[in-house]
Amino acid sequence: MRERSSFLRNRKSSSQAARLPVDAFSIDRASREPIQQQIYTALRDLILRGVLTPGLKLPSSRELSRNILVSRNTVVRAYEQLNSEGYVETRHGAKTYVANIPPPSSPAVRHDISKMAGRVSRFAHAFDPEKRISFSSDRSALRPSTPDVAVFPFTTWNRLFGRYLLHPNVDLFNYNYDLGYPPLQAAIARYIQAYRGVVCEPEQVVVTNGAQAALDLLSRMLLKDGDVVWMEEPGYVNARLVFSAAGADIEPLNVTEEGWGLQNVPEGNIQLIYTTPSCQHPLGLSMRVEQRLRLLDIANRKAAWIIEDDFDSEYRLFGRSIPAMQGNDKFGLTIYVGTFAKTLFPAIRVGFMVVPQSICEQVKRAALYCGQQVSLPLQATLSDFIMNGHFASHLRRTRRLYAERREAFLKLGHKYLNEWMEPFEADVGIQIAFRFKRPLDDVAIASKANDMKLNVVPLSRYYYREPIRGLLLGYAAIDERAMQSHLALLAEVIKEQTS
């Protein structure tokens, strides 16, 4: 633009006033962008590019408006906008000059953005993108840990939610209840006392954006560089990541079908123990009571906190869910973490933790200042959903449905996959871990299967030392027909990989 020879000239005082490239004002009258905005943008860009240099006088609003055939007010408003943002300044009455804006750096001193991106904290580096598996999002297929969203009672939910929107309650639409929304704290406390055997007062319930936010907050609060977390292996990758990001070293607490390897307690200090005793992730096993008591005892001896992640124990194939370990804790060391991701739907992003009284206020304040509060209208809807009995009936219904599907899936799994793999002996949760019967590369198989949108996870992903190879498969979100076709396709993939 600068090279063009034709300029709009300030007629009266062309010697000192800005010469503006004529195409700077190709005002587009058909555009939806207001003319005032077009003038503002054109002048701002000329200033930023250094075409209009500091100190240069701009044409008066009257002259410019005449030249470009727009109303004077429109130009005045554009000049006012430039003035208020600091691109121009008005001096000597009404004269407008280009302000003194530092020129853009020369390319020679421009920083290498990719290097700057590499300079982020170790915390950020911990979340290495390669650790993620990308699932196809247009269907669940065999994706582990996935409930059937289609059976969620959205009509009821929408009615409850709509009530708050139709009759907005100022309480729920302002900065309120910083340290917890009491009706939801009470509803969750009642549920986990009755169904999970958790011992707590409602004030100990801290509602979070999913269980993950609770794990992140706890790891940042309880761990320092070099602290030791004794963590289940195989174990929950997302928990491990936030512990590592907080600077902790991870010691494996091996889990097999024989139980938790509590005989191999790490020497030295342990600051935190992470466990999923009522539905081991990913194997779906549950810890026997004598092991629970022993683990609590070890925590007490080592002065370690325990995070009990109770993410999926509602779905037990036979009988009642096994009560939470927190209920056995006489020492006040267990922080119980729960989520509604499986019992309602994952995208609800509501989880919670039950924090021992000794650190409860500290955790609540940290949640507040880390921006961890959950939307109040959502909390109100969820508390109504629980208190009016809808949560209990949805649980009853999905328990039945998932138990039937689990049985069907195991039968079909045997039919299609028995040649290569067998399920772990487990009866809890909405996913099933299978181990290979002979040495096979689970990462390669999963990768091929996921090219076909099957959404499986290699079992070795959950191990950091000596992996058991196999696949983790979800069954809860699909009916028998879908199971048949997905498992048949998976069998083909494995056959191809092994031939």
Site of interaction with ligand PLP (CB under 6 A):
145, 210-212, 236, 276, 281, 309, 311, 339, 341, 346, 351
Nearer to ligand PLP, 61 or 238 (CB): 238
Nearest distance, CB of residue 466 and ligand PLP, angstroms? 21
Nearest distance, CB of residue 153 and ligand PLP, angstroms? 20
β 205-208/95-98 pair status: unpaired
Nearest distance, CB of residue 363 and ligand PLP, angstroms? 17
Count Cβ atoms within 10 A of the Cβ of residue 398 and give its class: 0-12 exposed, 13-18 middle, 19 or more buried: buried
Angstrom distance (rounded) from CA 436 to CA 444 = 13
Angstrom distance (rounded) from CA 211 to CA 242 = 12
Give the DSSP H or E segment for 89.
strand 88-91
CA distances from 119 to 114, 123, 129, 438 (A): 9, 11, 16, 44
Q: Taking Cα atoms as reference points, which of 355, 290, 291, 277 lies closest to residue 322?
A: 277
Nearer to ligand PLP, 72 or 399 (CB): 399
Nearest distance, CB of residue 263 and ligand PLP, angstroms? 24
CB-closest chain residue to ligand PLP: 210
Helices 442-451 and 480-498 pack at an angle, to 10 degrees, of: 130
Nearer to ligand PLP, 323 or 351 (CB): 351
β 272-275/228-233 pair status: parallel
Nearer to ligand PLP, 59 or 474 (CB): 474
Nearer to ligand PLP, 93 or 371 (CB): 371
Nearer to ligand PLP, 61 or 343 (CB): 343
Nearest distance, CB of residue 333 and ligand PLP, angstroms? 19
> What is the DSSP secondary structure assignment for residue 437, as one 8-state letter?
S
Nearest distance, CB of residue 88 and ligand PLP, angstroms? 50
Nearest distance, CB of residue 4 and ligand PLP, angstroms? 58
Nearest distance, CB of residue 339 and ligand PLP, angstroms? 3
Which residues is 289 bridged to in the sheet? Answer: none
Locus of tokens 């904290």: 121
Nearer to ligand PLP, 39 or 428 (CB): 428
Nearer to ligand PLP, 212 or 321 (CB): 212
Which residues is 95 bridged to in the sheet? Answer: 91
Per-residue burial over 56-93, b = 16 or more CB atoms within 10 Å of its CB, e = otherwise: bbbbbbebbbebbebeeebbbbbbbbbeeeebbeeeee
